[in-house]
């Protein structure tokens, strides 16, 4: 009989080494390698691989595919591109408490309400807790099923049955354990094995699989990066837990657009989509106050108005303070350096604070011109024109460069009644340099 092979597994990260070492090569921890018997391959796996047919011409291969089905949430169908596609694997990430489980339980409830079965597999909550949350959300369909387990085999069995449900939610992939890998749940080896089993199972049936992924303190999905490569769609649920809004962004999508987003509002009965977020983030804005500017930001394909605020005050510190909330701090520092160099403003003796209204985090390059307008407004202590709106990228030479979505932004600005409109040069109109912008806005040159 063949001798059992042993390996050494790190108890901290799950990395495997063929021999004992003092330090783990995976995470750098000391004295964490433990000797274990090497896992055996799953029965029948090698035979199945050897028995598969060889390569076939794509031109002659059947293109039959089950049509997508609506999720019951039209805004989510728009974000996904085609709704819930059978055989697709979706990964949803987000910070703790942001609303991932609430959103997915609502989604499962909508699918069940349409007469299709949905199964919510939880490794974090008991059936009693799930039932209480479903009752709080008003979900009572008999087609909404739940399973509380930390075994990946339980979810694989659900996906592998002949009459598979339309939707299977696994919350979360870091709490599941697979018998095909060593290590504790959540370790890179376990996350890889669990995701591999689940994705392989869903590809063979009519179900749609949604995996919930925890995030690290840097905001990235915990576990190996291969997890995001294995799935078809990667979604992130973002927002500030102190505010009512949430944003669902698409970072990867094999079946639809990757530049869409969905705005949701946290209410007493769960998350509710915001149909038209055009002015949702403006709130009760005071147009007479200095240091405030409205930017028509483009996130995805939808332009919406966002308030950018700035405060420039005299500093009594040896090193003036720079603080940014919702705006990249490097972008703020870059804009301040351009203003000092190109407009000759003495900002080096001022504390500068910048934020976006509602706690929204923006990455749109068109935010530059609105940020500059807010800083200039606070520096001169003069408000911009009451209905003015801004967008445009500012380069290091002080020129204002075009950004994507000019036609969509112009159309939205006119629909919302904004005037004047400050934007990069296009079709013979627009502002070309910061000096021209300063003169047009405040009469300074």
Say if residue 100 carries a ligand binding annotation.
yes
CA distances from 311 to 131, 347, 379 (A): 48, 12, 8
Say if residue 97 carries a ligand binding annotation.
yes
Q: Which of 418, 407, 328 is nearest to 365 (CA)?
A: 328
Say if residue 257 carries a ligand binding annotation.
no
Instruction: Report the alpha-carbon distance of residue 345 to residue 340 in Å, rounded.
Output: 5
List the end-to-end C-alpha distance of the chain, in Å, as a whole number. 89
Instruction: For strands 421-422 and 389-390, give the pairing.
Output: parallel
Tokens of residue 320, six digits: 């003036």
Say if residue 98 carries a ligand binding annotation.
yes
By the 8 A CB rule, do 119 and 158 touch?
yes
Instruction: Report the alpha-carbon distance of residue 390 to residue 399 in Å, rounded.
Output: 15
Say if residue 94 carries a ligand binding annotation.
yes
Instruction: Report the alpha-carbon distance of residue 382 to residue 444 in Å, rounded.
Output: 12
Tokens of residue 132, six digits: 């209480």
Please, is 66 exposed, middle or buried when counting C-beta atoms within 10 Å of its C-beta (0-12, 13-18, 19+)?
A: exposed
Say if residue 96 carries a ligand binding annotation.
yes
Can you name the residues that pair with 402 across neighbouring β-strands?
Answer: none
């049955």: which residue's tokens? 161
Say if residue 101 carries a ligand binding annotation.
yes
Say if residue 428 carries a ligand binding annotation.
no
Instruction: Report the alpha-carbon distance of residue 118 to residue 325 in Å, rounded.
Output: 39
Residue stretches of the annotated binding site: 94-101
Q: Please report, in range form, the residues annotated as the binding site for ATP.
A: 94-101
């Amino acid at each position: 009989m063949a001798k059992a092979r042993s390996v050494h597994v790190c108890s901290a990260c799950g990395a495997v080494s063929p021999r004992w070492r003092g330090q783990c090569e995976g995470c750098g921890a000391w004295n964490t390698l433990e000797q274990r018997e090497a896992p055996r391959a799953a029965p029948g796996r090698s035979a199945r691989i050897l028995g598969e047919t060889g390569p076939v011409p794509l031109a002659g291969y059947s293109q039959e595919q089950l049509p997508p089905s609506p999720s019951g949430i039209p805004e989510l169908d728009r974000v996904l591109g085609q709704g819930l596609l059978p055989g697709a694997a979706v990964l949803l990430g987000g910070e703790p408490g942001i609303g991932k489980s609430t959103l997915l339980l609502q989604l499962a409830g909508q699918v069940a309400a349409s007469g299709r079965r949905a199964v919510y597999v939880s490794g974090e909550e008991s059936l009693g807790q799930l039932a209480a949350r479903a009752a709080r959300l008003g979900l009572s369909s008999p087609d909404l099923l739940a399973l509380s387990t930390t075994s990946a085999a339980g979810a694989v069995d659900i996906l592998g049955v002949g009459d598979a449900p339309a939707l299977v939610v696994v919350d979360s992939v870091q709490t599941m354990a697979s018998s095909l890998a060593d290590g504790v749940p959540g370790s890179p080896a376990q996350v890889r094995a669990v995701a591999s089993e689940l994705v392989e199972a869903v590809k063979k049936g009519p179900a749609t699989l949604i995996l919930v992924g925890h995030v690290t303190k840097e905001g990235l999905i915990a576990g190996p990066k291969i997890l995001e490569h294995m799935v078809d769609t990667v979604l992130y649920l973002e927002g500030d837990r102190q505010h009512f809004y949430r944003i669902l962004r698409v970072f990867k999508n094999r079946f639809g657009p990757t530049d869409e987003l969905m705005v949701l509002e946290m209410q007493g009965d769960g998350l509710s989509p915001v149909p038209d977020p055009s002015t949702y983030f403006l709130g009760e804005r005071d147009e007479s106050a200095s240091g405030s500017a409205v930017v028509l930001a483009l996130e995805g394909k939808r332009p919406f108005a966002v308030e950018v605020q700035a405060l420039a005050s005299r500093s009594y510190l040896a090193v003036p303070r720079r603080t940014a909330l919702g705006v990249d701090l490097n972008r703020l520092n870059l804009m301040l350096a351009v203003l000092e160099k190109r407009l000759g403003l003495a900002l080096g003796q001022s504390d500068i604070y910048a934020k976006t209204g509602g706690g929204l985090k923006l990455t749109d390059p068109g935010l530059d011109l609105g940020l500059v307008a807010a800083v200039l407004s606070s520096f001169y202590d003069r408000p911009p024109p009451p209905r003015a709106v801004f967008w445009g990228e500012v380069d290091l030479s002080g020129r204002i460069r075009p950004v994507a979505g000019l036609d969509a932004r112009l159309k939205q600005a006119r629909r919302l009644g904004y005037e004047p409109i400050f934007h990069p040069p296009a079709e013979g109109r627009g502002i070309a340099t910061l000096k021209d912008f300063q003169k047009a806005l405040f009469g300074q040159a």
